[in-house]
Amino acid sequence: MDIRITPHPLSGEVTPPPSKSLSHRALIAAALAGCEERIGNLARSQDIAATRRCMEALLTPSDGFPVLDCGESGSTLRFLIPLALVLRGGAKFTGRGRLMERPMEPYFAIFREKNIHFEKNGGELTVTGQLTPGDYRLPGDVSSQFITGLLYALPLLAGSSRILMTSALQSREYVTMTLEVLRKYGITVKNESFQRFAVPGDQKYVPTDLTVEADWSQAGFWYAARALGHPLEITGLEPNSPQGDRIAAAYSEALPDTVDLSQIPDLLPPLAAMAAAKAGETRFVNAARLRMKESDRIATTANMLRAFGVPCQEGPDFLNVTGREKLRSCTVDGANDHRIVMAAAILAACADGPVTILGAEAVNKSYPTFFDEYRRLGGIADVL
């Protein structure tokens, strides 16, 4: 689906959708506790649908080896690999897009140490074996999703385990989210300064009620619009949220000259949109992990900005953006990346002429109603 946006001011009140990150975590814990129906305000997107169907497949008794279709959801894949080993002795994981290109070596290193069989073949990954209580070493600079996956699975083992970080933990707030959801479902984990996690064994997930709060990552795009001069009131967000992306609100008021993305990688596209209209240069650093998202997100963010006439320079782990007063009419490749599409739509509202966004259906991955909200706020977005 391609969309043509005719520049027009955005105004009004908007509430972001439920947090995708918290929805994944709540859905897994609730499924293990047998109380999925007690989750309120669960996100509705392709990624969350992937986690739901995979949990159903894992928990449905059958004699066959489970096949788990993760779609394009990295969270689903990485969160559920350890659980599949604990619950079913393994599984075959399938995916689409760039999913199976994402780094998996932190798990593979553990599997080699623990004599767990794994085989990666194109768009499929098969793992077979059993997790056992003990020490699990993980790097902290690849993805926090590996830590979350183990934190869900290790409490179900018969004995105690530890997760030991071999390098400083990035995306720390995502682990905080995981620990908070686990706590609500009755799981005890001792966090030792994000360097070690002690996980007692023989635990059970306890049914509870949980309401998913609004998504600060998605709110970042509306805050970008506000920073670009659109009078939006962004409501329904929890100011004391464990979501690290809540910093988007402060950055919309004053974007620093240097932004460290190590803890907030998902904010690059909306923050880059803010930088596009800011005087001078903004430098985004510690961004290497973004090259292995739904797209090479450093490169695709740079390409999006250049389409609008915004100068930028990219390196292995950085992106420098030089703001300009006018954004030109253009065509933007959405790169099959929901965050690139949404950032382009926000910039398009300020362009000097129509903007065509190719592959705009990518928003269905995380925010299916994005363009409905965009139009409700006054945006002009026509499907071609």
**pLDDT at residue 334, as a whole number:** 97
**pLDDT at residue 64, as a whole number:** 80
Q: For 339-366, how does the pLDDT look when each residue is reduced to its tens digit (9 = 90+)?
A: 999 999 999 999 999 999 999 999 999 9
E strands within 111-184? 117-121, 124-128, 135-138, 161-165
pTM confidence score: 0.92
Q: For 31-80, how does the pLDDT look when each residue is reduced to its tens digit (9 = 90+)?
A: 999 999 999 999 989 999 999 999 999 999 887 889 999 999 999 999 99
**pLDDT at residue 123, as a whole number:** 86
Alpha-carbon distance 344 to 68, whole Å?
33
**pLDDT at residue 171, as a whole number:** 86
Residues 6+ apart with CB under 8 A from 255: 227, 271, 274, 275, 278, 282
Fold of 3-17+214-383: UDP-n-acetylglucosamine1-carboxyvinyl-transferase; Chain (3.65.10)
Among 141, 215, 245, 266, which one carries the catalytic annotation? 266
Cβ count within 10 A of residue 356: 19
pLDDT at 164 over 90: yes
- Residue 232: closest CA among 240, 223, 220: 223
Alpha-carbon distance 373 to 326, whole Å?
25
- 266 is a catalytic site residue: yes
**pLDDT at residue 88, as a whole number:** 95
pLDDT at 24 over 90: yes
**Local structure of 367: helix, strand or coil:** coil
Alpha-carbon distance 193 to 356, whole Å?
47
Which H or E run contains 76? helix 74-88
Better-predicted residue by pLDDT, 100 or 3: 3
Q: For 264-303, how does the pLDDT look when each residue is reduced to its tens digit (9 = 90+)?
A: 999 999 999 999 999 999 999 999 989 988 899 999 999 9
pLDDT at 170 over 90: no
How buried is residue 317: exposed, middle or buried, by Cβ count under 10 Å (0-12/13-18/19+)?
middle
Q: What is the mean pLDDT of residues 246-252?
A: 97
Alpha-carbon distance 194 to 33, whole Å?
26
Residues 6+ apart with CB under 8 A from 61: none
pLDDT at 122 over 90: no
Domain spans of the chain?
3-17+214-383, 20-211
Residues 6+ apart with CB under 8 A from 238: 213, 214
Domains 3-17+214-383 and 20-211 share a fold: yes
Please state which CATH number belongs to domain 20-211. Answer: 3.65.10.10
CB 115, CB 129: distance < 8 Å = yes
pLDDT at 222 over 90: yes
Q: For 79-96, how does the pLDDT look when each residue is reduced to its tens digit (9 = 90+)?
A: 999 999 999 999 999 999
pLDDT at 213 over 90: yes
Q: Cα dihedral sign for 355, 45, 227, 143?
A: negative
Q: What is the mean pLDDT of residues 298-326?
A: 96
Q: What's the half-sphere exposure (Cβ side, CA atoms, 13 Å) at 146?
A: 24
Alpha-carbon distance 286 to 372, whole Å?
34
Cβ count within 10 A of residue 375: 14
**pLDDT at residue 291, as a whole number:** 92
The two structure tokens encoding residue 259: 């932004």
Q: Please give the C-alpha separations between residue 345 and each of 1, 273, 348, in angstroms, as whole numbers.
A: 14, 10, 5
